[in-house]
Copies of this chain bind each other. A is one copy, B any other.
Amino acid sequence: MFAEIITIGDEILIGQILDTNSAFIAKELNKIGISVYQITSVQDEREHILAALEEARSRAQIVIVTGGLGPTKDDITKRTFCEFFKDKLVKNEAVLQHVEKLFASFVSTPITDVNRQQAMVPSKATIFHNANGTAPGMWMQSDGVSFVSLPGVPFEMKALMINSVIPKIMEDFERPYIIHKTLVTYGLGESAVADRIEDWEGNLPYYIKLAYLPNLGKVRLRLTAKGPDKKILEDGIEGEIKKLRPLIDDIFYGTDDDETLEEFVAKLLVAKKMTLATAESCTGGKIAQKITALPGASKYFKGSVVSYATETKINILKVPKTLIDKYSVVSAEVARAMAKNANELLKTDFAIATTGNAGPTKGESDAEIGTVFIAIATPNEVFVDKFMMGKHRTRIVQKTVNKAFELLQKEILKI
């Protein structure tokens, strides 16, 4: 049993926006045991939409379509649906009332006929209430295939998926179980890891698949088990991981099942009732931003000093000017002082400090582009490490953030 996802509209096709909708939908479908066979982005044109619907019907049992709705767009899409489903548009009173209520409560301009058009829906469609917007979700059947149309605004789409589409799929379809387990390795390339575990991989049972996902110095090994019996899948995956672990023990970094490293660090800090600060130079606030993106961060995160300029390191972080003059801003000594002082100034248990040169030019230090020092201050001491993070600005910052969380995690686990 497969699903497909179709996005309508040219924002994705001209590269103006990333297709976050399809990623979200794919993830949610996977969680309930439904694999996505294909994702297709098409133009907002009758022929193209018809062709895409037709093709998807031949391959999948569920087709989720996003976009092409909304007051200025809906015309072509909804007419095309009617053509495809041999249906006609009718006025839906509940949707009309909702649109009118939304306008009366939240919109300063008067409602227009264009807005009222949102209440015109295919007569045979099951309608899903969109609490966050005017375009409703629609569920239509055609030759045993279920088609779902959702608005393209991510926020509206997500609520409809979670509250309406996923529950209906779970009710209507018998689904296999899917279990993903991801083991993260560090320090070896993809082919070297593959070489090491070749025999093990060759003997995996038919219902377990392995994927290699290399990124930023790590190689993720993702095991996917799929089948009708949850117990068999769970036991199978667990057994295979037991065999795999000894083969990768020296390069094993952690598991990564939807939990990010910062989420794991957050959990540890909350459990230990300990607090964190950051003093960021080359990472420019990205570590703080990643932490504060998590709900509840105020429980353990006290703040950050983003000391981008040297004088900010001196004025706010109280790094001695003599130290900077002697060792330069990109040095183990300065990183150490930043972490130590952040811990003291913000009265925390742990502090991360980063200083480095992310390019494109050398800046205030002579350090080669890619040179980064990361310091971790714990309640007892301060550790500093030097890293060469390559030559590319965005990647240098990204790798430094990942590495900082990794180092912090290790130190927290020791306490």
A residues in contact (CB < 8 Å) with B:
10-20, 22-30, 35-43, 48, 52, 55, 70-73, 107-109, 112, 114-115, 153, 155, 180, 188-192, 194-195, 211-215, 222, 224, 277-278, 280, 283-289, 291-293, 295-298, 301-309, 311-312, 315-316, 345-347, 359-361, 363-364, 392-395, 397
Distance between A51 CB and nearest chain B CB, rounded to angstroms? 9
Chain B residues with Cβ under 8 A from A71's Cβ?
189-191, 194
- How far, in whole Å, are A19 and B26 apart by their CA atoms in the complex? 12
Tell me which residues across on chain B come within 8 A of A114, comparing CB atoms. 191, 194-195
- Interchain CB contact under 8 A, A393 and B295: yes
Give the complex CA separation of A191 and B133 in angstroms: 12
Whole-angstrom distance between the Cβ of A274 and the nearest chain B Cβ: 14
**In contact, B39 and A14 (Cβ under 8 angstroms):** no
Which residues from B are CB-within-8-Å of A36?
13-15
Q: Are B315 and A345 in contact (CB under 8 A)?
A: yes
23 A-B contacts, Cβ less than 8 Å apart? Answer: A13-B35, A15-B24, A18-B19, A19-B39, A38-B43, A38-B52, A71-B191, A72-B190, A73-B212, A107-B189, A112-B191, A114-B195, A278-B306, A285-B289, A285-B304, A286-B293, A298-B363, A302-B308, A303-B316, A304-B308, A305-B305, A309-B346, A315-B346
Minimum CB distance partner of A132 in chain B: B392
Q: How many copies does the complex hold?
A: 2
Q: In the complex, what residues of B have CB within 8 A of residue A18's CB?
A: 18-20, 23
Cβ-defined contact, B303 with A11, below 8 A: no
With the chains together, A37 CA to B12 CA distance in Å?
Answer: 11
In the bound complex, how far is the Cα of B292 from the Cα of A302, in angstroms? 21
Report the minimal beta-carbon distance from A366 to chain B, rounded to whole angstroms. 15
What are the residues of chain B within 8 A of A291 when measuring CB–CB?
284
Which residues of the partner chain B approach A13 to less than 8 Å between Cβ atoms? 26, 35-39
B289 and A316 form a contact (CB under 8 A): no
Partner of A298 from B24, B280, B308, B347 at Cβ < 8 Å: B308
Shortest beta-carbon distance from A371 to chain B in Å: 15
Closest Cβ of chain B: how far from A189's Cβ, in Å? 6
A71→B214 CA distance, assembly (Å): 11
Q: How far is the CA of A71 from the CA of B112 in the complex (A)?
A: 58
A204 CB to nearest B CB, Å: 14
Whether B190 contacts A295 by the Cβ 8 Å rule is: no
CA distance A359 to B306 in the complex (A): 24
Pair B22/A395 contact, Cβ less than 8 Å: no
Contact yes or no, B306 A304, CB < 8 A: yes
* The residue from B30, B112, B305 contacting A303, defined by CB atoms under 8 A apart: B305
- A25 and B35: CB pair below 8 A? no
Q: With a CB–CB cut-off of 8 A, which chain B residues contact A112?
A: 191-192, 195
Bound CA–CA A415/B280 (angstroms): 30
Rounded to whole Å, the gap between the CB of A41 and the closest CB of chain B is 4
**What are the residues of chain B within 8 A of A295 when measuring CB–CB?**
359-360, 393
Given A213-B16, A284-B292, A289-B289: A306 and B308 interface contact (C-beta under 8 Å): no
Which chain B residues lie closer than 8 Å to A14 at the CB level?
Answer: 26-27, 30, 35-36, 180, 224
In the A-B complex, list the 5 residue pairs whose CB atoms are closest, starting with the nearest: A284-B292, A15-B27, A285-B288, A15-B26, A71-B191
State in angstroms the CA–CA spacing of A331 and B72 once bound together.
Answer: 39
Determine which of B17, B39, B278 lies in contact with A12 in the assembled complex, contact meaning CB atoms within 8 Å. B39
Minimum CB–CB distance from A59 to chain B (whole Å) comes to: 9
